[in-house]
């Protein structure tokens, strides 16, 4: 008990901080009291003119003076020309009242003259002779000490009390002016969060790494007995939406300990040194309630690498230095575990990542098929599902999605079910929600001309035909020419038959480029034109080809040579060039060569499949939305209606947009589609296309 009291008075610096606060409040109070006295004096002297005593006597003799207020140290007088009519008659007390009112209104000049050191015996007879009214104000006798108390001491004491009260209320303690040094960390108890590992799915490897931290919080002696040093912190890294914050809360919930949560931006203020003060305050509060979890979200805000661009007084650098010192100083045997999350681990300072500070680095990556399935099961626990729901098929369709995407998909499906008057979510709701996320809602009021529909149909079937004819591609699941709100006039969805890793062969990448080029190839071969609808396709194809040359070592010219490096891998920030300008120009030539090769492949595929394409396009123009099985049946000369009946429900809407396997035709607003058409086609453009049929919900 005594040690805690000593630490409270000495170790934590509360004593000096309290003294500094009191001294600062007193100084501010003195300044404010003197300022207000000076201000009141200036206001009271407004409209006052000081004259010599001789001039005062002369004005009396010239009958210019109307009234004189006489005190021990000054004579205040007013001229007859400034005196209002109602004040020329009456008693002296009434005159004083009238003069005061007139002074407040303005227009009356008050003259002040200092009396002579020796009393002038002739002044009073002179005032009577010239009929000047004179009087002395009634003054209560008070000592000099009493006047000092009333005018200065009491206002100063009140001001000091008010300032200290305001500082404490704003800061929640003695944390400095306005409390800017207070940590302001939110403390979550297990009963308030209610989050455990059962609420986190798809991150089994990460949970296994954190289970030991929970055991350390409960049984630290088991580890110290053998001589092991307890880890001080763990760094959670991964893409946005993968559940880093949720996982940190789950650790606190499983361990049933307090959970401190603060963002990295909360440490940074306009005042230098505030961030360091907040770091000290955070660890001090954590030590009081240990064992506990301290979680710093977006730690890259204060943990960026220190370099020459940061000055010695930089706020972020001082905050980082204090964080490093605190992590070295606190005792992990007390049960304080520091967790931090970031999307940009590559920018963190190496001193922060070394062993002894953040001892473990846990990657929270995008979930695989099994992880997506368990995540969907977690998010649908409180959702009423119909019997036809197959979450495994939905998980297969959402390759590349993170936990936040899946939670949004389930919520959109529930909203759609309520909107349609159903009391349970069925499979169509989930699939329609998936389409809503990737393409937006249907533009039911949008009407395409016959030529535009034909052009969009050939564009989309061009993608699908190249994908069907090429090896190393994913099967086509849906083709639609129904416009959607995210700018697409139609799109083609491809879905892998099984959950694949990020590993891709050179042939697979070339096939994906060729599929992206299929839309433009169909425009050129069939309609002998080009449109701006292929803009996104060209960007996707160029990005793949550039990665093949610059990063994957898949070009004949450069071979196994890295020309670029990844930037912000978890934020998809692209890459930076690590080569000379001449080499970069040669890189562009190699990329162009790959694109031309793949485009030639797509053009040749379209020419060889022209008859089959015409059958698919005719059917697509009639139905507006078809499945991949229907397209295959048309190519093989079978009845597409029978293929539709046998097609699994998920196939009509599944896709893998996150892996870049979708193709959408986009038209820039306000631009005309370039076309070369005959007179008959020209006439047909004036006819409006029929409104879209039921759209995504009836595509199966």
Instruction: List the catalytic residues.
Output: 460
Sign of dihedral through CA atoms 116, 119, 123, 124?
Answer: positive
**Token output for 46:** 């407004």
Query: How far is residue 380 CA from its own chain's centroid?
Result: 27
Total length of the chain: 700
Candidates 429, 376, 425, 385; CA nearest to 405 is 376
In the block, which residue shows the tokens 């002696």? 221
Candidates 178, 145, 129; CA nearest to 25 is 178
The CA–CA distances, whole Å, from 449 to 443, 455, 481, 621, 635 equal 15, 10, 12, 12, 27
How far is Cα 261 from Cα 193, in angstroms, rounded to an integer?
A: 12
Beta bridge partners of 259: 188, 293
How far is Cα 370 from Cα 225, in angstroms, rounded to an integer?
A: 39
**Token output for 571:** 């934020």
How far is Cα 542 from Cα 581, in angstroms, rounded to an integer?
A: 19
Spatial strand order of the sheet with 663-666 comes to: 625-627, 476-480, 488-494, 663-666
User: Do residues 432 and 410 touch, judged by C-beta distance below 8 A?
Assistant: no
For the beta carbon of residue 578, count every other beta carbon within 10 angstroms: 12
How far is Cα 257 from Cα 214, in angstroms, rounded to an integer?
A: 10
Q: Torsion angle of alpha carbons 292, 297, 300, 301, nearest 10°?
A: -110
User: Do residues 336 and 330 touch, judged by C-beta distance below 8 A?
Assistant: yes
How far is Cα 21 from Cα 25, in angstroms, rounded to an integer?
A: 6
User: Do residues 33 and 151 touch, judged by C-beta distance below 8 A?
Assistant: no
In the block, which residue shows the tokens 């008057």? 421
How far is Cα 210 from Cα 232, in angstroms, rounded to an integer?
A: 13
HEC string of 112-133 equals EECCCCCCCCCHHHHHHHCCCE
Candidates 75, 118, 79; CA nearest to 102 is 79
**Token output for 299:** 């730690």
Q: Torsion angle of alpha carbons 59, 61, 65, 69, nearest 10°?
A: 100
How far is Cα 302 from Cα 321, in angstroms, rounded to an integer?
A: 10
For the beta carbon of residue 378, count every other beta carbon within 10 angstroms: 18
Candidates 452, 450, 451, 432; CA nearest to 442 is 432
**Token output for 541:** 């194809």
Cis check: omega of the bond before 550, within 30 degrees of 0: no
Exposure on the CB side of residue 440, measured as CA atoms within 13 A: 14
Query: How far is residue 187 CA from its own chain's centroid?
Result: 21
The CA–CA distances, whole Å, from 114 to 2, 13, 69, 678 equal 67, 57, 12, 109
């Amino acid at each position: 008990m005594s040690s805690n009291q000593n630490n409270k008075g000495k170790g934590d610096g509360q004593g000096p901080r309290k003294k500094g606060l009191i001294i600062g409040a007193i100084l501010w109070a003195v300044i404010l009291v003197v300022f207000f006295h000076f201000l009141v004096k200036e206001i009271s002297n407004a409209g006052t003119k000081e004259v010599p005593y001789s001039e005062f006597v002369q004005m009396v003799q010239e009958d210019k003076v109307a009234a004189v207020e006489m005190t021990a140290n000054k004579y205040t007088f007013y001229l007859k020309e400034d005196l209002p009519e109602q004040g020329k008659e009456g008693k002296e007390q009434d005159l004083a009242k009238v003069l005061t009112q007139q002074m407040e209104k303005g227009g009356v000049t008050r003259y002040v003259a200092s009396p002579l050191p020796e009393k002038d015996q002739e002044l009073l007879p002179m005032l009577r002779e010239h009929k000047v009214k004179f009087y002395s104000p009634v003054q209560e006798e008070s000592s000099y000490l009493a006047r000092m108390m009333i005018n200065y001491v009491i206002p100063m004491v009140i001001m000091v009390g008010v300032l200290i009260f305001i500082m404490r209320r704003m800061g929640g303690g003695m944390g400095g002016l306005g409390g800017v040094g207070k940590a302001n960390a939110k403390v979550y108890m297990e009963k308030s969060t209610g989050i455990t590992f059962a609420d986190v799915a798809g991150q089994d490897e990460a949970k296994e790494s954190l289970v030991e931290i929970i055991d350390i919080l409960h049984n630290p002696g088991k580890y110290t007995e053998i001589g092991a040093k307890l880890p001080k912190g763990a760094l959670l890294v991964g893409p946005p939406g993968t559940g880093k914050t949720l996982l940190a809360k789950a650790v606190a919930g499983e361990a049933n300990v307090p959970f401190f949560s603060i963002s990295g931006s909360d440490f940074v203020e306009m005042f230098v040194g505030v961030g360091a003060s907040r770091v000290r305050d955070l660890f001090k509060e954590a030590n009081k309630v240990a064992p506990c979890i301290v979680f710093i979200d977006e730690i890259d805000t204060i943990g960026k690498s220190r370099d020459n661009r940061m000055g010695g007084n930089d706020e972020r650098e001082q905050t980082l230095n204090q964080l490093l010192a605190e992590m070295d100083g606190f005792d992990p045997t007390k049960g304080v575990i520091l967790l931090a999350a970031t999307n940009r681990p590559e920018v963190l300072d190496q001193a922060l990542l070394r062993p002894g500070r953040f001892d473990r680095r846990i990657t929270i990556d995008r979930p695989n098929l099994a992880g997506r399935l368990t995540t969907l099961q977690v998010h649908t626990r409180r959702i009423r599902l119909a019997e036809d729901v197959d979450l495994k098929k939905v998980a297969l369709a959402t390759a590349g999605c993170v936990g936040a995407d899946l939670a949004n998909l389930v919520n959109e499906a529930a909203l759609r079910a309520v909107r349609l008057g159903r009391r349970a979510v069925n499979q169509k709701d989930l699939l329609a929600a998936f389409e809503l996320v990737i393409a937006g809602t249907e533009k039911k009021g949008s009407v395409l001309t016959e030529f535009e529909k034909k052009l969009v149909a050939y564009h989309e079937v061009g993608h699908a035909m190249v994908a069907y004819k090429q090896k190393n591609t994913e099967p086509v699941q849906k083709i639609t020419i129904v416009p959607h709100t995210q700018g697409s006039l139609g799109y083609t969805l491809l879905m892998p038959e099984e959950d694949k890793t990020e590993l891709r062969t050179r042939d697979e990448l070339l096939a994906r480029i060729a599929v992206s080029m299929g839309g433009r190839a169909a425009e050129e071969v069939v309609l002998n034109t080009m449109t701006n609808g292929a803009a996104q396709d060209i960007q996707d194809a160029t990005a793949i080809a550039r990665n093949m040359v610059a990063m994957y070592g898949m070009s004949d010219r450069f071979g196994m040579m890295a020309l670029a490096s990844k930037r912000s891998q978890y934020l998809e920030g692209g890459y930076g060039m690590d080569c000379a300008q001449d080499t970069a120009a040669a890189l562009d030539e190699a990329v162009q060569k790959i694109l031309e090769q793949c485009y030639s492949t797509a053009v040749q595929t379209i020419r060889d499949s022209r008859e089959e394409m015409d059958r698919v396009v005719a059917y697509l123009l009639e139905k507006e939305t078809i499945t991949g099985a229907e397209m295959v049946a048309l190519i093989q000369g079978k009845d597409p209606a029978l293929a539709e009946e046998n097609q699994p429900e998920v196939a009509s809407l599944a896709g893998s947009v996150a892996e870049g396997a979708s193709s959408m035709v986009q038209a820039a607003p306000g631009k005309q589609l370039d076309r070369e058409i005959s007179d008959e086609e020209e006439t047909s453009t004036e006819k409006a296309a029929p409104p879209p049929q039921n759209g995504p919900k009836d595509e199966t």
